[in-house]
Structure 1
Amino acid sequence: MRTRLRRLRVDGREFTWKADIRHVPGSGDCHRGIRVRAWGAGKNGRALEADLLSASWPAPWGACATDGVYPTPADVRRIILYALEHGWDPDLRGGTFHLTEAEHAAAFRLPAFLITDRLRDPDAPDPTRRVVEVWSRSL
């Protein structure tokens, strides 16, 4: 299946983005993860990458099997704006600017997602614990 690239205008500038569905293993379940990548200066510009963790809980047959959450263009706009405010320069050539859990999770959250490092680092904090904490606070 071919990846779909989407376009989004933010503050008069056009960005290209994509979101790939992944699975994030946790101690209590498998969770839906989404890797969002965005570019603001073509394929040679510095990419933005944010690994998102679905905040949906509980799932009757496992979150990996039944969770259908996917980032909206409004979510991606918020990611881009946050990254621009926190040091992402899409005009730089090459490389990737990562929104990491360790650096950004306390300050940035989307309604349906948390930032996770678990997609890149299997030793990152347990996603099940974080999802359950967020879900418990929303009750």
Structure 2
Amino acid sequence: MRARLRQIHVGGQTFTWRAALHSVQVNGFYHRAVYVRVWGSGGKNSQKLEADLLSAPGPYIVDNGYPTPADVRVVISYALEHGWQPEQRGGTFALSEREHGARFSLPGFLLVDPVRTAESADPRRR
């Protein structure tokens, strides 16, 4: 099943976004991960925003770890303030844990790097 594309308006601009659920293994436990992708008014030809979020409640605890439009608005606003240029043609702006994790705040979610290795730090310990 394909992820549904949605639209949201932030600061007078229209953005298209989607979120896909996955799981990530951290210290032997699986956690719900949500991959959020956003495009500006240029559609998929515009600079893409990527944010990978880890649901904060914990290992396979039944939760509603799917971002609401308000959550996506927070992601977009933060990215716009930190250099994302959705009007630019092509490319990707990634919100990485390494670069933005300490400053980015979204209740119920932690920002994580897209590729995690066994040696990566557990983001829940921040």
TM-score by length of 1: 0.82
Q: Is residue 2:90 matched to residue 1:94?
A: yes
Equivalent residue runs for 1:26-65 within 5 Å: 26-40=26-40, 41-57=42-58, 62-63=59-60
Matched-pair contact (CA < 8 Å) for 1:56–1:67: yes
AA in 1 matched with 2:53: L
How many residues get paired? 125
Structure 1, unmatched stretches of 5+, are: 135-139
Instruction: Kindly report which structure 2 residues correspond to 1:1-40, keeping only aligned pairs within 5 A, or say none.
Output: 1-40=1-40
Identity of aligned residues (%): 51
TM-score (norm 2): 0.90
Which of 105, 116, 120 is the aligned partner of 1:125?
120
Cα-to-partner distance string for 1:20-79 (whole Å, 9 max, x where unaligned): 00111010411110000000121100000000011103xxxx41x734311010010010
- CA RMSD after TM alignment: 1.7
Distance in 2, Cα, partners of 1:11 & 1:73: 14
Runs of 5+ consecutive residues of structure 2 not aligned to the other structure: none
